[in-house]
C-alpha cells in the first residue's frame, strides 16, 4: 500500500517549449493531478520551456485541432489548481525576455534555486 500523498512536495522541471508542443501538456497535466491529490506542486520552466511563458506564445499551441484547449488553457488551469509556476532567470536571458514578457502569475528564480528546490522536494519529475 502506498504512502499518503497529501502534503508531499513535487517539483516538475519543464525544459521543452512551443517548438515541441506535444511535450508541453504532460508536465502540466501531471502537476494538476498532483495538486488534486493535495500535494504542493511547482513547475520550474528552464531552457526551451521558458518560451511557453512568453505572452501570446501559449495561445498558439494546440495539440488537438478538434478541441478549444490550448497550452494557455493548461497554464491557466494549473494556476487555478494552485500549481506554482516559476521561471529560470538565466533562461529568460537566453530568449532575450524580461519578466514584462512573461504571463501573469509566474515568479522568477535564479538557477541555483533549483538545487534547493530539488533537495526539498519529495519527488522530482523532469520533462
Ranges of each domain in the chain = 9-54+68-126
The reported pTM is 0.92
Mean pLDDT lowest among 24-33, 40-49, 63-72, 82-91: 63-72
Please give the CATH number for the structural domain made up of 9-54+68-126: 3.40.1260.10
Residue range 93-115, pLDDT digits in tens: 999 999 999 999 999 999 889 99
At 2 the pLDDT is 58
Q: CA 92, CA 46: separation in Å to the nearest integer? A: 8
Q: What DSSP designation does 111 have?
A: T
3-class DSSP assignment, residue 47? helix
Say yes or no to pLDDT of 39 above 70: yes
Backbone angles phi, psi at 41, to 5 degrees: -125, 135
At 96 the pLDDT is 95
Say yes or no to pLDDT of 119 above 70: yes
At 7 the pLDDT is 81
At 55 the pLDDT is 98
Say yes or no to pLDDT of 42 above 60: yes
Q: CA 74, CA 53: separation in Å to the nearest integer? A: 12
Amino acid at each position: 500500500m502506498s504512502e499518503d500523498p497529501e502534503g508531499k512536495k513535487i517539483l516538475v522541471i519543464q525544459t521543452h517549449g512551443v517548438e515541441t508542443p506535444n511535450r508541453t501538456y504532460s508536465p502540466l497535466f501531471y502537476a494538476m493531478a498532483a495538486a488534486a491529490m493535495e500535494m504542493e506542486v511547482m513547475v520550474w520552466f528552464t531552457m526551451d520551456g521558458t518560451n511557453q511563458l512568453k505572452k501570446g506564445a501559449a495561445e498558439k499551441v494546440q495539440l488537438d485541432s478538434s478541441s478549444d484547449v490550448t497550452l494557455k488553457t493548461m497554464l491557466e488551469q494549473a494556476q487555478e489548481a494552485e500549481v506554482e509556476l516559476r521561471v529560470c532567470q538565466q533562461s529568460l536571458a537566453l530568449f532575450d525576455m524580461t519578466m514584462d514578457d512573461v504571463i501573469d502569475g509566474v515568479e522568477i528564480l535564479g538557477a541555483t534555486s533549483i538545487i534547493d528546490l530539488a533537495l526539498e522536494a519529495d519527488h522530482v519529475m523532469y520533462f
